[in-house]
A = this chain, B = another copy of it.
């Protein structure tokens, strides 16, 4: 079977690394000639609006999947619905923060308070009405903390408007959450859903830096319930990640990703079957794999420059995942998973690695 992936970055790369041992072949569609997935399959260099080139790509593979939800309706319309998995509706829903929140609310999934911002005055009004700090976000294209601004004062409103005002915006109440958690789930063609244990996620300047697996977390069941509702309503097939704020034991959904998710990278070494293999199993209509964690574990992202390989490899239980990307500040270039006998040992290893990275 030949899998066509829209995109050739690290998620496509890790899908191919997981899929080669299943006997799957891979092709990547992207205008980027240097994507780090290219070494693992055929790269078809084409633009996402070059419908003719994309059409040939789609015809050359058995199933199309993707590593990024920023795919336009125009592009999606060029792919027959039965040839893309997860379904296009999940992309269109997730890529717009407003549609996404409305969709989650419709399913009875709690989200932080929010409002649409059409002009600077509306942002001032929102700050005034809420009497709480706000976070203003572009509806489209934001990631890793980009396209966001925090609003505490009237001056912040002006700065944010200058920076983001020419985008469609929403403003959210800045939730004083206890922690951020996410759950990764996989759903089959037949409607079977399996969940990985939730992770607690830690960010630095808006970028995920560490995810720690929380087996037996008290919010696991609630997170699963919400995620199941979402996947069933979307008639979803594949892996999906749903992020939450834990606000005094209540789960408020932040956003979902209709794809393999950074907070699930621990599963390569820490679960019986990784999120990457399970995504491929699901979209190829193969039996789903076991989502259990093998041991207490966590994942630390490498942002920018690579650490010295020996420094990481000398840590027993650490697994290095280099994406073979050119380092740039703020760019995710790899990750490290750590497994240990107990949660405390995992925490210590995470702290040690974060210190190495100057994020301790």
What is A's interface to B at a CB cutoff of 8 Å? 13, 17, 20-23, 25, 39-41, 272, 281, 286-287, 289-290, 294-295, 306, 309-310, 313-314, 316-317, 319-322, 324, 334, 339
20 A-B pairs with CB atoms under 8 Å apart are: A13-B20, A17-B17, A17-B21, A20-B39, A20-B40, A20-B324, A21-B321, A22-B309, A22-B320, A22-B322, A23-B306, A23-B320, A23-B322, A25-B39, A272-B316, A281-B313, A286-B310, A286-B313, A287-B310, A290-B316
Cβ contacts under 8 Å, A339 to chain B: 272
> CB within 8 A of A21: which of B41, B272, B290, B319?
B319
Which of A21, A25, A309, A324 counts the most chain B CB atoms within 10 A? A21
Interface of A is mostly: mixed
A263 to chain B, nearest CB (A): 18
Tell me the complex Cα distance, A321–B321, Å.
Answer: 20
Cβ contacts under 8 Å, A334 to chain B: 23
Cβ contacts under 8 Å, A281 to chain B: 313
Q: Are B294 and A313 interface neighbours, CB within 8 A?
A: no
Tell me the complex Cα distance, A286–B272, Å.
Answer: 27
Q: Are B21 and A322 interface neighbours, CB within 8 A?
A: yes
